[in-house]
Amino acid sequence: MASDTRARILDATAELYRRQGMAATGLKQIAAAANAPFGSIYHHFPGGKDQISEEVIYAEGVRYGLLVGQQLAVITDIADGISDIFASAAALLEELDYTEACSIETIALEVASTNERLRIATATVFSGWIDALTQWFTGTGLPNDVCRGLALSCLTSLEGAFVLCRSLRSTEPMVAAGLAVQDRTRAALQVS
């Protein structure tokens, strides 16, 4: 039962952060969304909001990593398939009426200059994603430094497109970002 409450708190927090960000989310709101007594917050998370946030960052990092990893695993032609990842993200944004995006990005923007503990957590997640994307791009046979550049381009394009799509309430930035990364990948392959 206790672990169920803890899990509900983490799940509710992650959803609230995806929708409205960390700064706009209070502990009372988290307790209400988790259908948990307010006292259970500090029972399960004695470190308060910072502890909950750090755990959410790592859990969401794994969740998004698995989601994207499953999509990457079925792509047989990296140069042609990269835009599919962006198209999938665009479709999800549209399906959710632009209310949710990457909670890691949202938190990173909020804490990068103010909370070293959470900045390190977001940096750790982003670094893991960059490493995974770099590994995926090595399937092209390109050198590791080129693959890392493509991974960085892919992730920064995706995260930036999330911001623009939500603000503009349009998938156009996500589609354009996907095509740009696809073009960069094709260009790198032609040079090799």
With helix as H, strand as E and coil as C, how does the chain read?
A: CHHHHHHHHHHHHHHHHHHHCCCCCCHHHHHHHCCCCHHHHHHHCCCHHHHHHHHHHHHHHHHHHHHHHHHHHCCCCHHHHHHHHHHHHHHHHHHCCCCCCCHHHHHHHHHCCCCHHHHHHHHHHHHHHHHHHHHHHHHHCCCHHHHHHHHHHHHHHHHHHHHHHHHHCCCHHHHHHHHHHHHHHHHHHHHC
Per-residue pLDDT tens listing for the chain (192 residues): 557 999 999 999 999 998 898 999 999 999 999 999 999 999 999 999 999 999 999 999 999 999 888 999 999 899 888 998 999 999 999 999 998 888 898 899 899 899 999 999 999 999 999 999 999 999 999 999 999 999 999 999 999 999 999 999 999 999 999 999 999 999 999 987
Residue-level pLDDT at 32: 97
CA dihedral 20, 154, 59, 21 (to 10 degrees): -10
CB 189 within 8 A of CB 77: no
The pTM for the full model equals 0.91
Q: What is the pLDDT of residue 96?
A: 92
* 66-90 as b/e: b if 16+ CB within 10 A: eebeeebeeeeebbeebbbbbeebb
Neighbouring C-beta atoms of residue 149, cutoff 10 Å: 16
Residue 183: what pLDDT?
Answer: 96
Quote the pLDDT of residue 191: 86
Residue 95, C-beta contacts closer than 8 angstroms, at least 6 positions apart: none
The predicted pLDDT at position 129 comes to 96
Specify the pLDDT at position 138: 94
Which of 22, 31, 26 shows the shortest CA–CA distance to 56? 22
What is the per-residue pLDDT for 189? 93
